[in-house]
Amino acid sequence: MISNYCSFCGTKLKNTDEICPSCGKTISEEQYAGIERIGAGGTGYAETIDHESFAAYRKKLKKTVRIILPIIALVIAIGLMFMGVGPAGSIFAGICMLVLMFAVAAVQGRKKPDWEGTVTKKSYSHIRKKGADSHIYKIHFRTDSGGNKTQTWRSHTSVYDYLQEGDRVRFLGSIGTPYAFEKYDKSADESIPCVCCGHLMDPRYTFCTLCGGFLLKR
């Protein structure tokens, strides 16, 4: 796996780094040779749920969105002009699309209340459409307060595969990502998801090597 960040301290790495410039650890799996992978995640919820790496990830994500969305809106406006729509109409449509995309991004990235519960059901839908198919992944939960929650992903996510019916979990909405699920019992897991980017990581790691997010474990 490519290491963009040090798995020990979360420092951003260069492609040529073989040793972390911050903690001095070698960028190699050999560092974990004496530690069992299965069971490294432990049992119980992590005590640290407000690590500085979470805020840094949200800031980086917002910066990326501010760069990408205007580019998409510009491409749409130019495309409309080529389709015969006048300059004024194309610009107006591009601005409207930009506002809409920023609104959607703001809603998706907002913080939500934290809660704990149990996975009750998983479902998958494949909707065939002309041009592009739609894949919908859902996990249903029963919360400790007696309510029901559903998490939906429109594209495949490792968190959907990771969580199984009967798993006790907590959702840390305060982290502000759709992947912020931590399973209570991680003692039999070979991998655990990063609550920032959602990618599965070696539970012996302290930080996600793809985004630098702090891994929640015991």
Q: Which fold has domain 114-201?
A: OB fold (Dihydrolipoamide Acetyltransferase, E2P) (2.40.50)
Half-sphere exposure of 152 (CA within 13 A, CB side): 6
| 5 token code pair | 């960040």
Cα 183 to Cα 192: distance, rounded to the nearest angstrom? 9
**Range(s) of the chain covered by CATH 2.40.50:** 114-201
Under a CB-based contact definition with an 8 Å cutoff, are residues 191 and 168 in contact?
A: no
Q: Tens of pLDDT along 119-162? A: 999 999 988 777 677 889 999 999 999 999 999 998 878 999 99
Please give the full DSSP string across 11-39, using - where no structure is assigned: -B--TT-SB-TTT--BSSGGGGTTS-STT
pTM value surpassing 0.85: no
Q: Tens of pLDDT along 5-62? A: 999 999 999 888 889 999 999 888 788 888 899 999 999 999 988 999 999 988 887 6
Cα 153 to Cα 184: distance, rounded to the nearest angstrom? 22
